[in-house]
Amino acid sequence: MLVLTRQLRGVEAVHLLSHSARAAVKLESVLPPSIRDQVGTVIRQLSASLGAVSRYEGPEEMFDELAEAIANRNVSRIVYDSFHEKKQITTNVHPYRMAFVRRGWYLIAHSVMHEQTRTFKLARIRDLKVTKRHFTASEDVDPESYFGDAWGMIPEGKRYNVHLWFSPRVAGNVAEVGWHHTQEIEFNDDGSIDFRVRVDGLGEIIWWILGYGDEVEVIAPAALRRKVAAVAESVAAKYRKEHR
């Protein structure tokens, strides 16, 4: 715990882990001097990083109130800066779960306004009011499997069998990471790999693919190949122009 909370860069940006860091300091302070010195020596040799993390700058009380609302199944009213709708919205929600995904904390909840289960980024919740009314969770909603086969956290309702080819230059880096629970990798004699994955939606995986530039090629599906080509052509067109 001391390693995770003292040597993990970015821990201060992650709610709950920041609490753990303070608890770890208290724990360390009561250790016998000999053990504390030994632990300190080990910790200094280790480090870890969360990478880019979305900082949660809302009041800590909001996080705790949401956790209590989830436990007690309280209908809650949120004011939310919606990127999708490009405006601030107010909606009643049935909060199911909070999850730290990729770079930040999200609330999985049924939105009464949208009549569907959605994800709300905690950093964009501007106000929260937990009511005394209770909700009954729908049997059709399983927070454990909400993200399903989404590449990241946004399932789109249609699954695709994606086939990518990665050049020998990046094949090793791609192959050594578990990117998705459905991924399959085939190693080729020339050092390249064929990467296959079944994902719900193409909106998220396309940006991951583009990050590998010309070291990757989309073999299938054709829809994804067209999307990547369109973005690549748009980028190329920008760089053909003189800089402003």
222-237 per-position pLDDT tens digit: 999 999 999 999 999 9
Task: Write the CB contacts of 45 (distance below 8 Å, at least 6 apart in sequence).
Answer: none
Structural domains in the chain, CATH included, are 2-48 (no CATH), 60-145 (2.30.30.520), 159-240 (3.30.70)
* 146 or 86: which leads in pLDDT: 86
Band (49; pLDDT cuts 50, 70, 90): low
- Beta carbons within 10 angstroms of residue 139's beta carbon: 6
| Nearest-angstrom CA–CA distance, 162 and 159 | 9
Asked whether the predicted pLDDT for residue 29 surpasses 90, the reply is: no
- Rounded CA-CA distance 176/173 in Å is 6
When pLDDT is averaged across residues 43-69 and rounded to a whole number, the result is 72
Q: Return the pLDDT at 125.
A: 95
Whole-angstrom CA distances from 213 to 165, 174, 193, 208, 224 are 12, 13, 16, 10, 15
